[in-house]
Amino acid sequence: MANEKSSSDKKARETAWSIGARTLPLPSGASQDLREAVGDGLQPAERRKELESVPQSEAEWLAFVAAADEATAQEVRNAVDQLPVAVERDEIDGVDVYHVVPDEIDPEYEDHLFVHVHGGGYVLHGGYACVGEAVAIALGTNMRALSIDYRMPPRHPYPAAVDDVMTVYRHLLTQRSVGSMAMGGTSAGGGITLSAVQKLIELGVEVPGALFIGTPGSDLSGTGDSFRTNEDIDRNIPTYDGIIEACVRLYAGDLDLVDPRISPLYGDFDNFPATLLVTGTRDLFLSNTVRTHIKLRQAGAEADLLVYEGMSHADYLREATSPESQHLADELKSFFAQHLRRSSRPAPPSMPRMDSARWT
Choice from 35, 318, 342, 353 touching its own copies (CB under 8 A): 35
Residue among 275, 258, 280, 279 nearest 267 (CA): 258
Cα distances (Å, whole numbers) of residue 203 to 200, 207, 211, 275, 340: 5, 10, 18, 20, 22
Q: How far is the CB of 23 from its own copies (least distance, A)?
A: 5
Length of the chain, in residues: 360
CA–CA distances in Å: residue 20 to residues 17, 23, 45, 230: 10, 10, 16, 14
The contact mask relative to its own copies for 38-77 (x = CB under 8 A, - = no) is xxxx-xxx--------------------------------
Q: What residues numbered 198-227 form the site for its own copies, per CB under 8 A?
A: 219, 223-226
Site for its own copies in 307-336 (CB under 8 A): 307-310, 327, 331
The total of other beta-carbon atoms located within 10 Å of residue 154's CB is 18
Q: In what order do the strands lie in the sheet with 144-148?
A: 85-92, 95-102, 144-148, 113-117, 181-186, 210-214, 274-280, 303-308
C-beta of 61 vs 335, nearer to its own copies: 335
Question: In the set 2, 3, 16, 350, which binds its own copies (CB under 8 A)?
Answer: 16
Which amino acid is located at 64 in the chain?
Answer: F
Q: Is 24 in the site for its own copies (CB under 8 A)?
A: yes
Any contact of residue 229 with its own copies (CB under 8 A)? yes
The reply on whether position 287 binds its own copies by CB under 8 A is yes
Q: How near is the Cβ of 287 to its own copies at its closest, in Å?
A: 6
Q: Which of 306, 309, 314 is nearest to 281 (CA)?
A: 309
Backbone dihedral region of 120: left (phi > 0), alpha (psi from -120 to 50 degrees) or beta?
left
Considering beta carbons, is residue 293 or 313 the nearer one to its own copies?
293
271 binds its own copies (CB under 8 A): no
CB closer to its own copies out of 1 and 203: 1
What is the bridge-based pairing of β-strands 274-280 and 181-186?
unpaired
Please report how close the Cβ of residue 297 comes to its own copies at its closest, in angstroms. Answer: 7
260 near its own copies (CB under 8 A): no
Which residues contribute to the site for its own copies (CB under 8 A)? 5, 8, 11-13, 15-30, 32, 35-36, 38-41, 43-45, 219, 223-226, 228-233, 281-282, 286-287, 290-291, 293-294, 297-298, 304-310, 327, 331
